[in-house]
A and B are shown apart, each in its own frame.
Chain A
Amino acid sequence: MTAASMAAAAPQKNALLKVLGPIHVWALGVGIVLVGEYMGWNFSVGKGGAYGSLIACWIIGLLYTCVAMIDSEVTSTVAAAGGQYTQAKHIIGPLMAFNVGLYLVMAYTMLEAADALVVGDLIKTVAGQYGAEVDTKPFVVLTVAVLAWLNYRGVFMTLTVNFVITAFAFIAIVLLFFSTTGLGGAEPILRHSELLTELPYGWIGVVAALQFGMWYYLGIEGTCQAAEEVRSPGRSIPLGTMGGMITLLIAATMTWYVCAGLMPWEYLGQAVTPLYDAGRLTGNLEMEVVLFIGTIFAAVASANGCINDASRAWFSMARDRYMPQWFGAVHPRYRTPYRSILFLVPIAVSFAFTGLLDQVVTFSILSGLLGYTFMSFNIVRFRKLWPLGSINRGYVHPFHPIPCILLGLLCAATYFATYLGYGASLLSIMAFYILISVWFVTRRYKYVRRGDQFTMPWPRPKGY
């Protein structure tokens, strides 16, 4: 590398402390995603039946394995805060980065809305079991407001608590599995032979189920948000991310096995809190309480992580002037992006108020899916602009280009799956990203400092 080509190598000010290891990376990924086992995944049963959902779970597991492989290479090399947003700035360009930042904000804000909606609905259900009638809206507002306040004040303690409550939510799934299958010594109560049916829509239903199959894992790529704080990115990020994927595959399979053996598929396909319902069906009050707490904990932990990640993505865009600079302010006392946190609160609350969990989940899934589509051509361009050996890569994923081709094909299949049954939502969200992209090009880009968009200490990209 020449001195001129190292123009971007200026040391970063305010660098974050490198204190995280593979376990922390694992906890970050699983913490946001685990709520997917407690709600949302089961809509894939509604679209393709119980077996359709299981096949979708494994196929989408393959999609996420490709995501984890590709993301590990790029993140361990672009080890900077901002995750995929920062990657897009350095590899594709500003408009793509703007869109990727929005994918993150929308995916996490809609997931946060879904989490709050589930908390409200679960409390209403439990109150109904005891003869009381409650409105879900105050609980939705309370959940989002309390978590936004915690994030406003700083998240160090909150994220520590997050790890503990995520662990509880995972153990609750394992306990349910052992208590219902008889492996824990109790009488097995699962009735697969009596409840499982053939594919209700045939194989087209299996394809359609891919849409909600994403909910089993959506957010695992959040591991790269902490890239700058990881001690050894080349080792910790692939290890933590792939470990997280294995954990989620096990949890997803256990969740499917228990729920499919306890509920008729027509109920399971529309349930808001399927794991809590499974807890009720055990007839064991302790298990019901454990699953109630597990559902609340998983939703709260996820919502908390979502507020944290969405607000930081919004903040990063504002700091780069992709969004109004006003949002790029840091609280003088708590050192948090408080304006970004507050701005996203009414959006999350109003979508949670609709009560349409499947639609809200679809918005989150589609934003995630657009992000994975970006990853498939991002890695191709990354290898083209900076071939192996031209820069120090923390990790080089094997079998390139098979994972990115497979990822692209699976993303295309999932767009088609969303078209089946949720075509209007798909077109609507595409209209949103098209309109806002045109707005960025015609209105916002003039406020962006061009040279500041490239800060990595890399040589000039090949062909530029």
Chain B
Amino acid sequence: MSKPYQPPVQSGAGQFFDSLVVLVLVYVSLMAPLLFKEAPAAPEAGAEKPAVTWESLNQTPAMVEQWDKLGVNIEAAAPMIANRFDYTIEPVSLILTILVIVGYFFFVLRTSDREFREVIRERFGPGKEN
């Protein structure tokens, strides 16, 4: 059996640096879409806004009654009702997303397999195909 791999001992400063790297990666990667989230467009100064009615918001009397019970007036309800998702599919961004996900799993599985062989070799001895 080959000699087991002996990992180096990591210094306290090295461990601190690695912890910092993880923290920075978490914040940068995960906070980015939160920070760059599109802010709602500000109303144009001086522009005349047509009066909003429950009818123009397609709300039935029953819905209006429930909005009232919830304590949400028409001014507060209007942006909630107008807030809609845009499900337009952009081929470039969709293909990019697919490539990123598939590429990620391909990289992880391939590298893991190489590492797994090292683990098995050390645990069970030199390779012996079953």
Residues of A within 8 A of B (CB): 4-5, 7-8, 46-47, 92-97, 99, 106, 129, 191, 194-195, 200-201, 204-205, 208, 262-264, 266-267, 270, 277, 280-281, 283, 321, 323-327, 343, 347, 350-351, 354, 356, 359, 363, 373, 377, 415, 419-421, 423-437, 439, 441, 443-451, 453-454, 460-464
Contact = CB atoms under 8 A, between A and B. Distances in A.
Given A194-B62, A264-B63, A267-B80, A359 B108 contact: no
Contacts of A195: 62-63, 66
Given A350-B27, A464-B124, 19 more contacts: A94-B112, A95-B108, A194-B60, A262-B66, A280-B70, A281-B66, A324-B10, A325-B10, A347-B26, A419-B97, A425-B33, A426-B97, A427-B100, A429-B30, A430-B101, A432-B29, A433-B104, A449-B7, A460-B130
A324 B18 contact: yes
Contact of A266 (B81, B100, B107, B116): B81
B89 to A, nearest CB: 8
Contact of B116 (A92, A204, A347, A448): A92
B25 A5 contact: no
Contacts of A4: 124-125
B116 A94 contact: yes
B15 interface: yes
Interface of B: 4-5, 7-8, 10, 12, 14-16, 18-19, 21-23, 25-27, 29-34, 36-37, 59-60, 62-63, 66-67, 69-72, 77, 80-81, 83-87, 89, 93-94, 96-97, 100-101, 103-105, 107-109, 111-125, 127-130
A99 B108 contact: yes
Contact of A92 (B37, B94, B112): B112
B18 A444 contact: yes
5 contacts: A93-B111, A267-B80, A270-B83, A430-B97, A460-B130
A424 B33 CA distance: 6
Contact of B5 (A267, A421, A449): A449
A129 B89 CA distance: 42
A47 B83 CA distance: 11
Contacts of B130: 460, 462-464
Contact of B119 (A263, A421, A423, A451): A451
Contacts of A434: 100, 103-104, 107
Contact of B115 (A94, A191, A277, A347): A94
B128 A429 contact: no
Nearest to A449: B7
A351 B80 CA distance: 23
Most buried by A among B94, B116, B120: B116
A42 to B, nearest CB: 13
A447 B7 CA distance: 5
Contacts of B23: 347
A445 B115 contact: yes
A448 B107 CA distance: 19
A426 B109 CA distance: 20
Contacts of B89: 420
Given A280-B70, A343-B19, A428-B29, A450 B118 contact: yes
A94 B119 contact: yes
Most buried by B among A47, A264, A426: A264
Contact of A354 (B22, B34, B115): B34
Most buried by B among A281, A419, A444: A419
A194 B34 contact: no
A208 B128 CA distance: 48
A199 B122 CA distance: 57
A277 to B, nearest CB: 6
Given A347-B26, A460-B130, A462-B130, A428 B85 contact: no
B79 to A, nearest CB: 10
Nearest to A94: B115
Contacts of A194: 60, 62-63
Contact of A321 (B7, B94, B122): B7
Contacts of A281: 66, 69-70
B108 A437 contact: yes
Contacts of A321: 7
Contacts of B121: 450
> 7 smallest A-B Cβ distances: which pairs?
A93-B112, A93-B116, A432-B29, A194-B62, A324-B15, A451-B122, A96-B112
B44 to A, nearest CB: 24
A3 to B, nearest CB: 12
Contacts of B125: 4
A267 B76 CA distance: 11
A439 B62 contact: no
Contacts of A359: 33-34, 37
B63 A95 contact: no
